[in-house]
């Protein structure tokens, strides 16, 4: 399926802002939400490598990205 391939190509283990921006126009809402959250997380973490942000941001430790109903993305702490 096209969305699955686009997610792997643009939001897989190796990603960058250009590919993630392309994914924001995918017809599937979940793909667009993943892209928005990944764009907001300007770091590499675990196996997910941002080619344009290779370092890990310690300020984002124990955080997940949340997208509200207006599409605004924010980091929220798990604790």
- Kindly report the average pLDDT of the chain as a whole number: 95
Of 67, 79, 58, which Cα lies nearest the Cα of 30? Answer: 67
Kindly give the pairing relationship between strand 49-50 and strand 14-15.
parallel
pLDDT of 52 higher than 90: yes
Please state the rounded mean pLDDT for residues 37-63. 96
pLDDT of 56 higher than 80: yes
pLDDT of 1 higher than 90: no
Residue bearing tokens 């590919």: 19
User: 10 and 35 in contact (C-beta within 8 Å)?
Assistant: yes
CATH of 2-77, one of 3.20.20.70, 3.40.50.300, 1.20.58.100, 3.40.50.1370: 1.20.58.100
Please state the rounded mean pLDDT for residues 19-35. 96
Domain boundaries, the chain: 2-77
**Percent of the chain having pLDDT more than 70?**
100
């Amino acid at each position: 399926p096209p969305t699955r391939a686009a997610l792997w190509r643009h939001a897989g283990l190796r990603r960058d802002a250009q590919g993630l921006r392309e994914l924001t126009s995918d017809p599937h809402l979940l793909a667009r939400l993943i892209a928005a959250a990944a764009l907001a997380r300007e770091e590499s973490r675990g196996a997910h490598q941002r080619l344009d942000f290779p370092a890990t941001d310690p300020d984002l430790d124990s955080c997940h990205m949340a997208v509200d109903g207006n599409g605004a993305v924010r980091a929220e702490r798990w604790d």
